[in-house]
Amino acid sequence: MNIQPTFGAHGFNQSQNSFDPGLHSYSNSMATLSSKTSNLVGAPEGRTSHGSLPALNGVSVHQLDRDSHHRWWQVKNFFSLNQKRDQSNFRNQGLTTSFLFLMTCPLHLAIMIGTVLPTVVAQHKELDLIKLILLTVVAWAIMANAFLAVFRRHQRIVHQVIATDEGLEVSSPFFSRKIRWGEIRDAFEVGNPESGYDMLQIDYTGGESIFLSKKLSNSNQLFALIENRLKWTPRMTFQLNHRLSDELFDLCSLSMTASVVALLFTLASPQTMPRIDTISILLIFAVLVGASKWFFHNKTAQLIRIGKSEIYIQTRNQSKLLNWDQLKEIKPIPLLGLNLLKTRNEWFNLGFTSKDKETILVIEDKRRISSER
């Protein structure tokens, strides 16, 4: 994996285990990475305050072009008969799938009502019809909430960035932020080249993150400007920043949501099983869905950062900074496509596909070297 970060640490205030690199001081050293070695990039020392920053002498505007705009909205090749797998920073099948469900839900409702209406009229079962309509509305609301959650995450890939002397003004559809230079905790390149996911992640106060695509106009100039500004900020530097795209996680969440929706539609139909059997199946189903959501949101690493003496792991709901001597082993489970990283007190899943093998090798080498000291 040839992702070379140009910036420093990641601060993400999501849980009681969140790590704030601004609270640490570090030494100034440099090293080089290869796929089977663990030499690391040290951190720059703190320099002057943001008040000493040089002026920009103007305002620079950076925007996505028309093609990237279409990709952002998931409409690139949407109506093409010969669709190709779109490998880009903007791809998110979870966004497209949930949107299509919302648009076709009224048709689903009309078909179901038309199917049960003759029975309702003949047998005077108006309550069954009302139950069907109510459960359909609930299912639609659940999918609408899932779509909004995916869309809010997608908004963090911004359409436009305006750099001024005060900071950055970023915007995307229905989203805008003004971020002062002093509020930026860190900026670093993240991605997975095989999936086409490669962006600059910016973390700022408040525990939020935004992502700048290299498709922004004059992105090299913008990234160099941000790097220059961050030279005045004491922070931690990591050698490798590996982040899985939101698409994988959103699709997993959407599949669980779809399972709940399917269950609601099943409840809307006349029950053919005894009540005790129905309750047992519902309980088992609820446990499976809850366990899957917990696994994806709390135990599956979306961001992995490798440093000189520590590894930073971030899931959707928590983040951990671990010393290498806290790691016990990496246990592959090929049948499930999992790689479990075991620590002294807990464990994390490091990835699902072969794309993550190099990152896992680097972690294993670093853990082994630490244990041999």
- Residue 190 Cα distances to 7, 210, 335, angstroms: 10, 12, 28
- 158 with 210: CB under 8 angstroms? yes
Amino acid symbol at 282? L
- pLDDT confidence bin for 27, thresholds 50/70/90: very low
Provide the residue ranges of all domains of the chain, joining segments of one domain with +: 299-372
The residues near 172 (Cβ < 8 Å, ≥ 6 apart) are 72, 155, 156, 157, 158, 159, 160
Of 251, 324, 325, which Cα lies nearest the Cα of 292?
251
Distance between CA atoms of residues 199 and 26, nearest Å: 26
pLDDT given at position 173: 95
- Residue 62 Cα distances to 90, 93, 162, 171, angstroms: 17, 26, 6, 11
pLDDT given at position 85: 60
Query: Is the pLDDT confidence value at 178 over 90?
Result: yes
The percentage of the chain sitting over the pLDDT mark of 90, rounded to a whole number, equals 30
Residue entry with tokens 């041999």? 372
- pLDDT confidence bin for 48, thresholds 50/70/90: very low
Query: Is the pLDDT confidence value at 266 over 80?
Result: no
User: In the chain, count of helices (H) and strands (E)?
Assistant: 7, 14
pLDDT given at position 104: 84
pLDDT given at position 313: 94
For residue 293, how far is the Cα from the chain centroid?
Answer: 14
Helices 246-268, 93-123: inter-axial angle, 10-degree rounding:
0
pLDDT given at position 162: 96
- 344 with 329: CB under 8 angstroms? no
- pLDDT confidence bin for 210, thresholds 50/70/90: very high
Of 367, 373, 371, 369, which Cα lies nearest the Cα of 348?
367
pLDDT given at position 273: 53
- 271 with 131: CB under 8 angstroms? no
The percentage of the chain sitting over the pLDDT mark of 70, rounded to a whole number, equals 76
Q: Give me Rg for the CA atoms of the chain.
A: 24
Any idea which fold 299-372 has?
A: PH-domain like (2.30.29)
- pLDDT confidence bin for 326, thresholds 50/70/90: very high
**Average pLDDT over the chain, rounded to an integer:** 77
State the pTM of this model: 0.78
pLDDT given at position 262: 77
Distance between CA atoms of residues 356 and 35, nearest Å: 12
Query: Looking at residues 214-230, what average pLDDT do you find?
Result: 93
- Residue 340 Cα distances to 221, 231, 351, 352, 362, angstroms: 40, 36, 8, 10, 15
Query: Looking at residues 53-81, what average pLDDT do you find?
Result: 80
Query: Is the pLDDT confidence value at 155 over 80?
Result: yes
Of 241, 327, 234, which Cα lies nearest the Cα of 22?
234
Query: Looking at residues 165-186, what average pLDDT do you find?
Result: 94
- pLDDT confidence bin for 268, thresholds 50/70/90: low
Tokens of 55: 């002026």
- pLDDT confidence bin for 358, thresholds 50/70/90: confident
DSSP string over 236-291 = ---SEEEE--HHHHHHHHHHHHHHHHHHHHHHHSPP-S-HHHHHHHHHHHHHHHHH
Instruction: Find the largest Cα–Cα distance for the chain.
Output: 82
pLDDT given at position 219: 94
Query: Is the pLDDT confidence value at 138 over 60?
Result: yes
pLDDT given at position 78: 65
pLDDT given at position 44: 34
pLDDT given at position 19: 42
How many Cβ atoms from other residues are within 10 Å of residue 117's Cβ? Answer: 12
3-state SS assignment for residue 45: coil
Of 204, 259, 254, 195, which Cα lies nearest the Cα of 226?
204
Distance between CA atoms of residues 265 and 256, nearest Å: 15
